[in-house]
C-alpha cells in the first residue's frame, strides 16, 4: 500500500499549505486538506470560500502558487489530468461539460471508447457499456439520445455516469444533486452508499445540509479562502456547521412573511409548450409567490420558457393585468414586463467574458442608459450598477470583473440584478438557489419576498421542497407535462407534496397510512 509521502498509510488525498491567487482575488491561503481512503469527506463553505478552486487544484485544472498535493502517495505537482485518471480520480463537476450534439453513450465513454480490431470505434460495445453504467444509476435515459435533447436534470445524470465509467477509487462531487429532484436524489444517494460500502473514497461539495449529514463521515469548512475546521460529522451540529461557514449565525432560513395579494397579474390559458407539456392554465396574482414543482421531466422549465418566449408554444393565451398579449420572443416578454431567471444561469443568463457591469445592465441598456445619438451614458451605468452590487451583496473586486471568475452564488445574484434593474412586474425564477450557499440562499429569498411585497407576481420553480413549502403562497404540482394538483402552502406537508410530485393521486396521509398511486 502506498504512503502519502510522509509515512502515513490509508490516506487518499493530502494537500498541504495550498495557496492560490487570481487577479484581484486571493482564492486560497495555506489550506491543508486530508481525506482518508474509504471515507466520505464534505468540503463546505459559502460561495467564493475556495471550494471549487481547491478541487480544480487537486485535479490539476489550476496550479497552486504554494503547497504540495499527494494522491494515494503520489506527488501530483508534475502530473496532468489524464495521469490523475490513471490514479483512479474522477470528478462530477457542477459545470456539466458535456458535448450537446453527441449521444448519451458517446458522452459517457468519451476518451475511453471501445475499439474494433481494425482501429475504429466499436459502436455496439460503446452503447452496451454506456447502458451498463447508466443502469446502475437510472434506467430512464436512452443512450442513443442526443444530449442536447435532454433536460438539465437528465444531463446531470449523464455527467454522473461519465465520471463513473472508469470505476474510480476517488470520486469528487461538486454539487451533484443541484439539478436533481428529491426522488432522483434519493436514488443517487442509495447508489453512493452502495459504492462507499465497497471502498469508494468521496469528496463531497454541497450546500444541502441533509445530504452532508446523510453521506459524509468528516467535514472541512473553508471561509474566505482559509480552512476553519476539520471535524467528524458526528461532532458538529448543523447549526454549528452553518456558523463556521458564515462566521455568524442564521436564525431564519426563509424570511417568509404575509404580503398583500391583489388582482391577477398573469393569466396563462391552455398553454402547450412545443417541447413537452399538455394544456396548462393558471393565474398568478400581484404579491403572490406561486410554487411550481415536479419531478425530472415533469415539464416545469418548458412551461417557464414558453411563457417567456424562449421556446415556441403550440397553443396558449397569455394575459397581463387583464390585457391579452402576444409573446413569441424573449424581447416580447421583456417589453411586457416579464423577467426570467433561467435554470442554466451560466449558459443562458450570463455572458461569461463580460464584466459584472455589462451583465447587470444588459437587459435595459438601450432603455435606461442610452442618451442622444444612442451613446451609452457610462457614468450613469456605473453608478447604478455599483448600487445594485452593494444592495445585492455581490462579492466582486469591481464592477469590471468578468462574471466567469465569480462564484456560482454571486453569478446568480448578477442574473437577478439584471432583471431587478428591468423594473418588471412578473418574475419567473427557475431553480434560483441551485448551487447557492446557505447565506446566499437567504439573500435570494429576501429579494423574492421584497419583490412580492412591492406587488410583483412571482413564479418560483424549485426541486427543493422545503424552500417551496416555506416561501410560496400556493403550489402547483406538475407530472408528465400536466398540472395535477394545486395545494395551499399552509395546509400541506412535505410528505403530501412529495406524494403528488411522484405521481400519486389521492393522498390519505397518516389517517390510514396508505398512499395509493392508482
Q: Which CATH architecture has domain 1-88+170-249?
A: 3-Layer(aba) Sandwich (3.40)
Q: How far is the C-alpha of 369 from the C-alpha of 380, rounded, in Å?
A: 7
Listed by start position, the domains of the chain span 1-88+170-249, 99-167, 251-337+425-518, 348-423
Report pLDDT for 513: 41
Using alpha carbons, list the distances in angstroms from residue 235 to 69, 79, 232, 239, 295. 27, 36, 5, 12, 34
- Residue 91 near residue 80 (C-beta atoms within 8 A): no
Report pLDDT for 499: 82
pLDDT in tens, the chain (518 residues): 344 444 456 899 999 999 999 877 788 999 999 999 999 999 998 767 888 889 989 988 889 999 999 998 888 887 777 777 778 888 887 667 889 999 999 999 998 899 999 899 999 999 999 999 888 887 778 999 999 888 777 888 898 888 888 888 999 998 888 777 777 787 788 888 888 888 999 999 987 788 899 999 999 999 989 999 999 999 998 878 878 887 765 554 555 667 789 999 999 999 998 877 789 999 999 999 999 998 767 889 899 999 999 999 999 999 999 999 999 999 899 889 999 988 776 767 788 788 888 888 876 776 666 755 567 677 788 888 888 888 777 888 888 888 888 877 788 888 888 888 777 899 999 988 876 777 777 878 888 998 999 999 999 999 888 889 889 999 999 988 889 999 987 778 877 887 888 677 777 654 434 333 33
Q: How far is the C-alpha of 34 from the C-alpha of 227, rounded, in Å?
A: 12
CB-count exposure of residue 102 (10 Å: 0-12, 13-18, 19+): middle
C-alpha cell at 177: 444533486
Report pLDDT for 207: 76
Q: Give the torsion through C-alpha atoms of 362, 364, 365, 369, to 10 deg.
A: -140
Report pLDDT for 7: 46
CA-CA-CA-CA torsion sign (335, 337, 342, 347): positive
Q: Is 76 helix (H, G, I), strand (E, B) or coil?
A: coil
Using alpha carbons, list the distances in angstroms from residue 374 to 331, 366, 368, 378, 442. 19, 8, 11, 12, 39
Give me the helices (H) in 247-329, please: 300-308
Q: How far is the C-alpha of 162 from the C-alpha of 143, rounded, in Å?
A: 12
Report pLDDT for 515: 38
CA-CA-CA-CA torsion sign (351, 353, 359, 363): negative
Q: Which CATH architecture has domain 251-337+425-518?
A: 3-Layer(aba) Sandwich (3.40)
Q: How far is the C-alpha of 98 from the C-alpha of 272, rounded, in Å?
A: 29
Q: Is 102 helix (H, G, I), strand (E, B) or coil?
A: coil
Angle at 315 between CA 310 and CA 320, to 5 degrees: 70
- Residue 325 near residue 336 (C-beta atoms within 8 A): yes
Q: How far is the C-alpha of 252 from the C-alpha of 443, rounded, in Å?
A: 11
Report pLDDT for 332: 93
Residue the block writes with cell 467564493: 48
- Residue 28 near residue 51 (C-beta atoms within 8 A): no
Report pLDDT for 427: 95
Report pLDDT for 4: 41
Nearest to 104 by CA among 95, 94, 96: 96
Amino acid at each position: 500500500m502506498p504512503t502519502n509521502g510522509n509515512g502515513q498509510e490509508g490516506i487518499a488525498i493530502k494537500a498541504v499549505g495550498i495557496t492560490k491567487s487570481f487577479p484581484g482575488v486571493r482564492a486560497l491561503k495555506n489550506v491543508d486538506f486530508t481525506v482518508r481512503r474509504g471515507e466520505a469527506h464534505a468540503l463546505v463553505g459559502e460561495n467564493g470560500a475556495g471550494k471549487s478552486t481547491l478541487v480544480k487544484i487537486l485535479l490539476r485544472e489550476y496550479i497552486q502558487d504554494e503547497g504540495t498535493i499527494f494522491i494515494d502517495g503520489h506527488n501530483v505537482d508534475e502530473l496532468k489530468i489524464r495521469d490523475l485518471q490513471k490514479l483512479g480520480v474522477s470528478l462530477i463537476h457542477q459545470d456539466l461539460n458535456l458535448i450537446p450534439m453527441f449521444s448519451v453513450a458517446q458522452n459517457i465513454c468519451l476518451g475511453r471508447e471501445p475499439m474494433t480490431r481494425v482501429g475504429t470505434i466499436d459502436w455496439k460495445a460503446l452503447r452496451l457499456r454506456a447502458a451498463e453504467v447508466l443502469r446502475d444509476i437510472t434506467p430512464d435515459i436512452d443512450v442513443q439520445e442526443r444530449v442536447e435533447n435532454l433536460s438539465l436534470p437528465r444531463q446531470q445524470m449523464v455527467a454522473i455516469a461519465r465520471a463513473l465509467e472508469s470505476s474510480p477509487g476517488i470520486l469528487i462531487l461538486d454539487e451533484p444533486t443541484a439539478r436533481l429532484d428529491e426522488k432522483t436524489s434519493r436514488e443517487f444517494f442509495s447508489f453512493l452508499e452502495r459504492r462507499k460500502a465497497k471502498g469508494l473514497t468521496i469528496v463531497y461539495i454541497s450546500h444541502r445540509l441533509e445530504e452532508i449529514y446523510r453521506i459524509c463521515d468528516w467535514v472541512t469548512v473553508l471561509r474566505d479562502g482559509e480552512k476553519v475546521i476539520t471535524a467528524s460529522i458526528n461532532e458538529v451540529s448543523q447549526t454549528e456547521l452553518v456558523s463556521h461557514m458564515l462566521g455568524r449565525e442564521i436564525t431564519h432560513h426563509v424570511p417568509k412573511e404575509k404580503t398583500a395579494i391583489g388582482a391577477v397579474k398573469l393569466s396563462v390559458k391552455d398553454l402547450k409548450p412545443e417541447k413537452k407539456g399538455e394544456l396548462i392554465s393558471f393565474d398568478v396574482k400581484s404579491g403572490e409567490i406561486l410554487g411550481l414543482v415536479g419531478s425530472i421531466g415533469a415539464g416545469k422549465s418548458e412551461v417557464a420558457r414558453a411563457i417567456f418566449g424562449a421556446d415556441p408554444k403550440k397553443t396558449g393565451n397569455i394575459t397581463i393585468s387583464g390585457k391579452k398579449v402576444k409573446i413569441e420572443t424573449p424581447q416580447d416578454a421583456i417589453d411586457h414586463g416579464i423577467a426570467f431567471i433561467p435554470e442554466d444561469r451560466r449558459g443562458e443568463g450570463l455572458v461569461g467574458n463580460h464584466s459584472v457591469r455589462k451583465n447587470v445592465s444588459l437587459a435595459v441598456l438601450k432603455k435606461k442608459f442610452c442618451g442622444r445619438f444612442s451613446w451609452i451614458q457610462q457614468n450613469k451605468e456605473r453608478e447604478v450598477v455599483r448600487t445594485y452590487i452593494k444592495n445585492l451583496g455581490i462579492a466582486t473586486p469591481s464592477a469590471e470583473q468578468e462574471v466567469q471568475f465569480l462564484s456560482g452564488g454571486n453569478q446568480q445574484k448578477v442574473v437577478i440584478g439584471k432583471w431587478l434593474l428591468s423594473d418588471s412586474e412578473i418574475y419567473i425564477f427557475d431553480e434560483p438557489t441551485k448551487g447557492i450557499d446557505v447565506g446566499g440562499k437567504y439573500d435570494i429569498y429576501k429579494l423574492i419576498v421584497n419583490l412580492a411585497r412591492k406587488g410583483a407576481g412571482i413564479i418560483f420553480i424549485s426541486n427543493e421542497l422545503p424552500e417551496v413549502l416555506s416561501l410560496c403562497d400556493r403550489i402547483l404540482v406538475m407530472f408528465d407535462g400536466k398540472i395535477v394538483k394545486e395545494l395551499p402552502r399552509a395546509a400541506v406537508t412535505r410528505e403530501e407534496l412529495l406524494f403528488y410530485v411522484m405521481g400519486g393521486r389521492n393522498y390519505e396521509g397518516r389517517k390510514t397510512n396508505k398512499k395509493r398511486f392508482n
